[in-house]
Structure 1
Amino acid sequence: MAVTDEAILKIKEMITSGELGPGDRLPPEKELSERLGLSRSSLREAVKALEVIRVLDVRRGDGTYVTSLEPRLLLEAMSFVLDMHDDDSILELFAVRRILEPAAVALACPQMDAPTIDDLRGQIQSVNGTTSVEGLVTHDLAFHGAIVAAAGNAYLAGLIESLSSGTVRARIWRGLTQEHSVERTLSEHTSIVDALERGDAELAQALTLVHISGVEQWLRDAASAS
């Protein structure tokens, strides 16, 4: 394990144990590095990485604080960053989802009735700029799941649900770190529903492909940058 990853893991353990919670200030760098048995440079790199994903808030001249996120979201984000260093399976999940889900949306299009369309629009309208990261991810899962279920193929729906559940941590990370993620997600979801309402299966399929591919490409870029 790289020393930076080890430092992230040890800070994560402090949160897991309850020693650090949302809003808490970290001990001074020298004290923390000695307590964790890490060099100050590796600790500094870990803090920098955790600041990027908004787990830590570095206040110049004041100290470093754990952000006010819920502990579960903090841990999800940290686990995801650690896993991304050693495992490309999350990217493979998105690649398979990119193949299957647009096809499922095309199958669902002829089955769309007014109540289903109204339900999808209601899901979109329930989300706004003040929605939490967890709320956005919950919406995203429910939205895509409802469309796939309408295709009427239980095996395909189950397969996509399994793929989708494996991408939850990536979605949380995106919600934490990407600006305007709520607005972008809702705009793309609205376009997909508009195409479904018109009965344009080809357009709905294309829009879904672009939607999923955009997340996948963002993830590749973010993982490379980290």
Structure 2
Amino acid sequence: MGSNRRLFWGIVDKIEALIDSGIYSPGSRLPPERELAETFKVSRPTIREAIIALEVREKIEVKTGSGVYVLKPVNQLIGSNKQVNAFEVTQARALIEGEVAAIAATTITEDELARLHQTLVDMEKGEFIAEADKEFHQIIANATRNSAMILSAQNLWKLRSSTPEIIKDYDSVCSKDNSKTLAEHTAIYQALKSGDSTQARLAMHGHFNRLINALFDAVELRALEEIRQKNSETRGLYSIPNPVDI
């Protein structure tokens, strides 16, 4: 699973980056499978796997006999024009995914537990951490066998990249403290493995509670830096020149 999986996710990330940057714009058709394989220097089966993953992420739509088309990004909640912030997304995820974990503790299969454990291994190696993080939460949501819960978890994950502000806030904390995230994911995994719904819920809440606090710390540091910058500019404006320099 190792090298093939890493190669597969690498191609997913590259194509997704091209979509997000607008090089492959919404409504446009992706290059043919053969051309993509040549561009990324991988096999066509690897491209097919990447296309399937991108379709699951709702980045593209495969139209039989026509091609693969880029979908418009989902930037907002259904039926709402109001933008949300990182704190609201995280609180909502804590509440919903806490219950998702509680349900999954009674329904998760041995195969799903094995795949969940693999994400822990990937995170411990420090390889494809973001992908392992997302897969971890998706496996748990899918384990509920509840389509509404799965869709809710997926939509909340999409909101993580719905605005530049949320992306900036999450990037400021998710690229750090991998050891803490790994420890929290391990606690959730152990609770699921033991079939303990209460502990699974508590472990998931603990995971998001730490993330919310980290977001607050990051926002405070950024605000302090902005104040320092403004004070520095103002100080230069009103400082009295040294008589020697006049």
User: Which TM-score applies when normalising by structure 2?
Assistant: 0.51
CA shift, 1:173, in A, is 2.5
Contact 1:106–1:205 (Cα < 8 Å) also in 2: yes
Give SS of 1:127's match: helix
Post-superposition, which runs of at least 4 consecutive aligned residues in structure 1 deviate over 4 A?
A: none
Offset from partner CA, 1:112-135 (integer Å, 9 cap, x none): 12111111101211223543xxx2
SS of the residue 2:123 aligns to: coil
Specify the code of the residue in structure 2 equivalent to 1:151: T
| Structure-2 residue corresponding to 1:215 | 211
Query: Structure 2 unaligned runs (5+)?
Result: 1-20, 22-82, 162-166, 223-246
Which one scores higher on RCO, CA 8 angstroms, separation ≥ 6?
1
User: Helix, strand or coil for the counterpart of 1:140?
Assistant: helix
Give the SS at the match of 2:102. Answer: helix
Is 1:195 matched up with 2:191? yes
Paired positions, count? 135
Match of 1:137 among 121, 130, 144: 130
1:42-99 CA distance string (max 9 Å, x none): xxxxxxxxxxxxxxxxxxxxxxxxxxxxxxxxxxxxxxxxxxxxx8622111111111
Residue 160 of structure 1 aligns with which residue? 153
Query: Would the alpha carbon gap of residues 130 and 106 (structure 1) be closer, same or farther in structure 2, given more than 3 Å must change?
Result: closer
Aligned-pair RMSD on alpha carbons?
1.9
User: Following the alignment from structure 1 to structure 2, what is the Cα–Cα distance between the partners of residues 153 and 108?
Assistant: 10
Q: What pairs with 1:63-82 in structure 2 (closer than 5 Å)?
A: none
Distance change in 2, residues 1:96/1:125 (3 Å) = same
Query: Quick one: structure 1 residues 203 and 216, their matched pair in 2 at CA, closer, same or farther if it must change by over 3 Å?
Result: same
Q: 1:22-61 counterparts in 2 under 5 A? A: none
SS at match of 1:151: coil
Output the CA distance in 2 between the equivalents of 1:205 and 1:217: 18
Q: Which residue of 2 is the match for residue 185 of structure 1? A: 181
The alpha carbon displacement at 1:172 in A equals 2.8
Alpha carbons 2:86, 2:170 under 8 Å: kept = no
Cα separation, partners in 2 of 1:196 and 1:92, compared to 1, 3 Å: same
Q: 1:172 & 1:192 partners in 2: Cα distance?
A: 23
Shift in alpha-carbon separation, 1:89–1:192, aligned structure 2, 3 A? same
Q: In the aligned structure 1, how far is the partner of 2:193 from the partner of 2:142? A: 16
- 136 and 142 in structure 1: CA distance in 2 versus 1, 3 angstrom threshold: same
Amino acid at match of 2:115: D
Q: What one-letter code is carried by the residue in structure 1 that aligns with 2:98?
A: P
Q: Tell me the amino acid that sits aligned with residue 154 of structure 1.
A: S
Q: Tell me, yes or no, if the aligned pair for 1:103 and 1:205 is still in contact at 8 Å.
A: yes
Query: Structure 1 unaligned runs (5+)?
Result: 1-15, 17-86
Mapped to 2, the partners of 1:222 and 1:88 lie a distance apart of: 18
Contact 2:141 2:150 in 1 (8 A): yes
| Kept in 1: contact 2:106–2:197 (CA 8 A) | yes
Distance 2:130 2:105 in 1: 23
| Counterparts in 2 of 1:103 and 1:155: CA distance versus 1, 3 Å | same
Contact map agreement 1:129 1:183 (CA 8 A) in 2: no
Alignment check: 8 A CA contact 1:129 1:182 kept = no
Counterpart in the other structure of 2:64 = none
Matched, 1:117 2:113: yes
Which letter maps to 1:218? Answer: A
